Structure 1
Amino acid sequence: MDNNTVDPTCRQQPPLAIDIITQLDTFGIVLYSALTLMATLSVLVYLEECIYIYRKVSSPKKTAVVWVNGAAPIIATTCCVGMWIPRATMFTEMTSSSYFAIVVYKFLVLMLEECGGDEAFLRRCGKDTLRISTGPCCCCCPCLPRVAVTRRTLFLLKLGSFQFALLKTIFSILSIVLWTNGNFDVTNLEITGAAIWINPFVGVLTIIALWPVAILFMHLRNILRSQRIIPKYAMYQLVLVLSQLQSAIINILAMNGTIACAPPYSSQARGYLMSQQLLILEMFIITLVTRLLYRRRYDPLPPHDPHEDDNDQNTKIIMQCDNKA
């Protein structure tokens, strides 16, 4: 298509909020109202769940539960703000992604708290080994040696996830500062652009942060089965895939022009809008599911018997003696 035939509005900035309101038709009013209602209900359900958690769950586990449960409603809220105010999309995306970076670390802490804390985890699993050939880093390397569960190993696992919570927030603030100065543009893939350096580095930090969570989950999934850790981990992974991978795919399609321009939205702005509307619906459903998983009391794990290993060893000795007799 010749450049002269392109609608000039397709090259403009995202529309103002007042322009969206004045141009909404009947279907648009119903759609925007329904999605706004979903985002509002997500926040209300989350607040009610927080009240329950603070009353029924002991500290410090309740702090981790509140952070993890807040991922879906926070993302739904930021998407709702970005849907109504398209020019704030940069701020809403950075806010939700920074929050989820903290959730990655908090989910690792949650699994440890389900075991009773760091000390209880070390007592229960101190003689075990961790399989590090898991995704997203080393799932194709089954030959990697297993790692003993020690205080140093636990510290490295927690550090691997905490660095993402810290550095992602720092890079989000840096990106916003550069964007206000005109130096950060996700569509600018030139070597002199800031996005081509910041985004891949953040991607590497994301993979490094997800690896310790996967390692710990693979080790604790049977121990914490009674705590419904598998569906909880599935919801955490689903939020990750939808908020990061799905949004990235839609934005790439928009930048390539696959998603058509629809004035007053450019292709990129329309891609953001589609992603935001999908996420509001998806996060609303996830909020309801996570409420069923977390707003209930589970029986505590049975205490670990420190003499269990000695008993097993004595049983083996007795069996050997019987065989010799």
Structure 2
Amino acid sequence: MGDNMMMNGNTLPPSPCANMTLTPNSIEMVELMSSSQWTLALLIVCSILAGACLLIYVETIMFILLRLPYGTRRGFLIFLLGCFPVFSLTSILSIYFPRATLMAEFAASAYLAVCVYTFILLIVNYFGGYENMLKILHEERFSLAQAPCCCCRCLPEVALTKKTFHRARIMVMQMTVVRPVALFISAILWTDGLVAMCFETYQTIEVVLNLIATISTLCAIYGLGLFYEMSIRPLRKFYVRPKFFGMKILLLLTNVQAAIFAFLNRFGVIGCLSPLPCDSEFTGNVILNAIVAIEMPFLLVIARIIALKFVQRFHKLEQELSVSMATLETNAAPMAEEMCSRDQVRSSNDVRITSIPYSPPSSPELPAEITDEIKEETKEELKKEAESIIMEEIMKEVNKTMENGGVHTSTLEKRGNRDSIC
């Protein structure tokens, strides 16, 4: 036993500040949290909020699947909203299974890395693609003084080019590599047993890794600020302002909070909290995971409100567009019939003219087969002319609707095609 006494399923540490060299397993952790009222209440609240977060996410997915018809944007939106339940579930699992904390953090960071990349793809998708984005923003100029460098007013304004776009994207994408790699190195050191052999060295390495991850996160936030400045004006109707703000808040809460607690653990600011073991790092991890588990459901509710506004707007636009397309198709049939009737009248007049008795005797009368062939050719030409006129009117109406809502033309052109008119 001694100072390094191990806990089993029936025995708790005699002192709340007993020094423990091994992290408790799940059964021991539940017994520890159940031995005090405040820890038991904290565990119950975190568990309820994690379950509520998952249910809210499922309900949001069902609403998006029923209302948003665009496959690519719908998938991006669902994947981005999944950040909140993922972090909530990994945090509550880290409380129940403290020995799996690094694995849970690594999984959540990997998901966040993919979400950051997905967010950039969503912004480019709103513009209709990378080439369209460069065409729309080729004359736009934006300031480089963005958070966290917003106080540096000496930074110039630059125009969007391929080089500046790729630089801003690299600033965001580097976080998708740095944070997971830092957690991977930490997991290797933990597995190697360095935390038991030389705890001070392990904590120092943890502080350095968290500092690198924090700097990487701030660089990613700066890159997101550049993308925000590029797209705020042309994409105002897509609610990009709250989306960028939500992504920045998520990055800060999931990375900067961890770095702050790592510094507090390193310098022993977090003391012993009964009935938890007297281990600054262990206590700090429990508090951090509890905070994240409580924060995520409320952030998901805010993100759900923003997402539903976006979905309802485009669902309404889709309905208006369907009505306008149906009206245009209904009006197209009478126009085509009128063009066909004009063709028939013109053809009959041509036949009457050719049958006048005082025509020159030297011009022989055309055979019936040739006359029918001329009629058919004339009819086909008029038919094509009618189709082009109708399609021009349809596309004018569609472009007008696009300017009001920003809908892609590929889907609408498919709707405008018809097999025949006359």
TM-score w.r.t. length of structure 1: 0.79
Letter in 1 for 2:97: I
Percent of residue pairs bearing the same amino acid type: 22
- Give, in angstroms, the shift of residue 192 of structure 1: 11
1:74-94: CA deviations, max 9, x gaps? Answer: 111110001111222222222
Match of 2:312 among 268, 293, 297: 297
- Change in Cα spacing, 1:119 to 1:62, as seen in structure 2 (3 Å) is farther
Q: How far apart in 2 are the matches of 1:192 and 1:82? A: 19
Matching of residue 139 in structure 1 with residue 150 in structure 2:
yes
Match of 1:63 among 58, 69, 75: 75
Q: Which stretch shifts more, 42-51 or 120-129?
A: 42-51
Give the conservation status (yes or no) of the 8 Å contact 1:15–1:264: no
Match of 1:72 among 79, 84, 89: 84
Could you say what secondary structure the match of 2:403 adopts? coil
1:81-138: CA deviations, max 9, x gaps? Answer: 01111222222222223322333333233223233332332222121123222123x4
Matching of residue 247 in structure 1 with residue 258 in structure 2:
yes
Q: Which stretch shifts more, 272-281 or 194-203?
A: 194-203
Match of 1:42 among 53, 58, 79: 53
Query: Which fold has the larger relative contact order, with Cα–Cα distance below 8 Å and residues 6 or more apart in sequence?
Result: 1
Matching of residue 20 in structure 1 with residue 29 in structure 2:
yes
Q: How far apart in 2 are the matches of 1:67 and 1:189? A: 39
1:148-175: CA deviations, max 9, x gaps? Answer: 2123332332233223213433343333
Corresponding residue of 2:343: none
- Give, in angstroms, the shift of residue 217 of structure 1: 0.5
- Change in Cα spacing, 1:256 to 1:196, as seen in structure 2 (3 Å) is closer
Q: How far apart in 1 are the matches of 2:181 and 2:257? A: 24
Q: How far apart in 2 are the matches of 1:294 and 1:59? A: 15
Matching of residue 288 in structure 1 with residue 301 in structure 2:
yes
Could you say what secondary structure the match of 1:93 adopts? helix
Q: How far apart in 2 are the matches of 1:290 and 1:7? A: 40
Q: How far apart in 1 are the matches of 2:405 and 2:302? A: 31
Matching of residue 215 in structure 1 with residue 226 in structure 2:
yes
The aligned runs of 1:302-321 (5 Å cut-off) are: 302=403
Give the conservation status (yes or no) of the 8 Å contact 1:189–1:196: no
Q: How far apart in 2 are the matches of 1:74 and 1:293? A: 19
Give the conservation status (yes or no) of the 8 Å contact 1:98–1:172: no
Q: How far apart in 1 are the matches of 2:121 and 2:200? A: 37
Corresponding residue of 1:88: 100
Match of 1:267 among 280, 288, 297: 280
- Give, in angstroms, the shift of residue 280 of structure 1: 1.1
TM-score w.r.t. length of structure 2: 0.62
Gaps of 5+ in 1: 306-325
Q: How far apart in 1 are the matches of 2:64 and 2:53? A: 16
1:266-299: CA deviations, max 9, x gaps? Answer: 2221111111111111111111111111133334
Give the conservation status (yes or no) of the 8 Å contact 2:144–2:155: yes
Give the conservation status (yes or no) of the 8 Å contact 1:124–1:304: no
- Change in Cα spacing, 1:20 to 1:238, as seen in structure 2 (3 Å) is same
Corresponding residue of 2:247: 236
- Change in Cα spacing, 1:61 to 1:117, as seen in structure 2 (3 Å) is farther
